[in-house]
Amino acid sequence: MGHPSAPVFRYPGIPRAVPFLAAGGGTGAGDKRPPAPGADPGSGKSAGERTGPWSWCRVVGQIGSLYVVLETEDGFVVMDPHAAHERVLFEKFLADVIKGKVQTQGVLMPETIELNPKDAMCVRRSLELLRQMGFGISEFGQDAFIVDALPSYFAGLPAKPILAEVASTLELAGARGGKGRWKEESIAQAACKTAVKARDRLTLQEIEKLVVDLSMTDMPYTCPHGRPSLIFTSFRELNKKFGRE
């Protein structure tokens, strides 16, 4: 299954409610064994005083070349790394857009992109919004555009599929009404383009970083589209299924 001897590590507790209140502490990757049941190794508080549903976890490994299994003090968690990474990217990018602090990275060679007329019209109407999102984009006649920079989150990826995806989502958001949803929906779709892909194998360090990053988001339990990122099963539930309770 992979990573059988992974150490226990501490991390900011994943919140029970939104908005998230960080619980402090680090990964504590040097911890070699779980603390006593019901105790928070970072603060000495009891389980009832914690801000999150668990205070430590142990990476068991990946199964099915996709899902990550984590042991906690109360049970185990199955995490979809693709959905989890989408959530992390979405919230980071959205926060930067709102603050007007999106980091832009120039492409090695400016790319000329021709879209279908429908998508081109959406992009044309939203040039200013796209620039606010970190795209270096200008019109190049009819349905063509020149892209010479991308948001740093998408650096190294081909611009055309990202731009086409964002254009389609902008149109969908506009059709639903409410200009305020444009940024959110387009960012959520674009995040898919850079999220961890199904069948990607992750190292132990990558898994730990993803768990910590996810714990710092406002809504860690789902991706931006509403799919679950975490599924928790308690030891009590397991005991019942095995006839131990």
- Give the three-state DSSP class for 186: helix
Q: How far is CA 114 from CA 130, 179, 190, 201, 231, in A?
A: 16, 25, 18, 34, 42
- Using CA atoms in the order 98, 159, 186, 86, what is the torsion angle rounded to 10 degrees? -90
Does residue 175 sit in the same domain as residue 110? yes
CATH number of the domain that residue 15 is part of? 3.30.1540.20
As for how many domains the chain has, the answer is 2
Supply the range of the domain harboring residue 189.
100-194
72, part of any domain: yes
Q: Please state whether the predicted TM-score (pTM) of the whole model is above 0.75.
A: no
pLDDT in tens, 55-85: 778 889 899 888 999 998 889 999 999 999 9
90, part of any domain: no
H/E run at residue 95? helix 81-99
pLDDT in tens, 195-239: 777 667 888 889 989 988 988 888 889 998 889 999 999 999 999
- Token pair 């279908």: residue: 116
pLDDT in tens, 139-178: 998 899 999 998 887 777 778 888 877 777 777 666 555 5
Amino acid letter for position 28: G
54, part of any domain: yes
94, part of any domain: no
Does residue 175 sit in the same domain as residue 119? yes
Does residue 67 sit in the same domain as residue 121? no
3, part of any domain: no
The C-alpha angle with vertex 23 and arms to 19 and 27, in degrees rounded to 5, equals: 125
